[in-house]
Chain A
């Protein structure tokens, strides 16, 4: 159930290193952003979210950075592990609507 990787950007990272996955969002009116992880054959899984009144939010081993000036979102994964191998994509939403805009995703490969 993942985006087929024919044209999916791929990030290869050595196990134990930090990963940074980037996303450019499209709607300047969006005020809520989410990162999802999608493993092969599975549905997307929520990782972390951030609202537009923040520029940084931290979770367990993950940090999301938001730059509203250039409409850019990034996901940082600390000490990347083999279990982090998946497709990651961002989604944007405007509060009060039910319509999300999803990015196409980045495949993260963790090298042993």
Chain B
């Protein structure tokens, strides 16, 4: 099992560009989520999904879109990147039976110039 796989590991964007951060898990987890981690702040929830076809907003959803067409994949889209979106992004998943125990990917470090 690879667990939770995130790509790319690093990305630099110019303001206004769009891109998709990829997240895939091979544990058949129903729950998947995206967090951002900024200096001096705890992880903040962007969007989450409790199953294929179901998504919901977290604490800081503005500027991001998600979709969940399969159980395995949960991509995060930045529609028009802004410097305020410079951050480290983590994808996490958990099993329905043990939903509180999150498994995290290794992160994507994004810089928006």
Q: How far is the CB of B69 from chain A (nearest CB, A)?
A: 20
Q: Do the beta carbons of A100 and B45 come within 8 Å of each other?
A: yes
**Does any Cβ of A come within 8 Å of B53's Cβ?**
no
Contacts of A89 in B (CB 8 A): 42-43
Q: Do the beta carbons of A45 and B104 come within 8 Å of each other?
A: yes
**Does any Cβ of A come within 8 Å of B100's Cβ?**
yes
Q: Do the beta carbons of B101 and A44 come within 8 Å of each other?
A: no
- A-side interface residues, number (CB < 8 Å): 28
Give the distance in Å from the alpha carbon of A91 to the alpha carbon of B99 in the complex.
14
- B-side interface residues, number (CB < 8 Å): 30
How many residue-residue contacts, CB under 8 A, span A and B? 71
Q: Do the beta carbons of B43 and A44 come within 8 Å of each other?
A: yes
Instruction: Choose among A3, A42, A91 the residue with the greatest number of B CB atoms under 10 Å from its CB.
Output: A3
CB within 8 Å of A: which of B3-42?
4, 31, 33, 35, 37, 39-42
Q: How far is the CB of A49 from chain B (nearest CB, A)?
A: 7
**Does any Cβ of A come within 8 Å of B105's Cβ?**
yes
Q: How far is the CB of A75 from chain B (nearest CB, A)?
A: 16
Q: Do the beta carbons of B40 and A6 come within 8 Å of each other?
A: yes
Give the distance in Å from the alpha carbon of A12 to the alpha carbon of B52 in the complex.
45
Contacts of A102 in B (CB 8 A): 35, 42-44
**Does any Cβ of B come within 8 Å of A93's Cβ?**
yes
Closest partner residue, chain A, to B44 (CB atom): A102
Q: Do the beta carbons of A43 and B104 come within 8 Å of each other?
A: yes
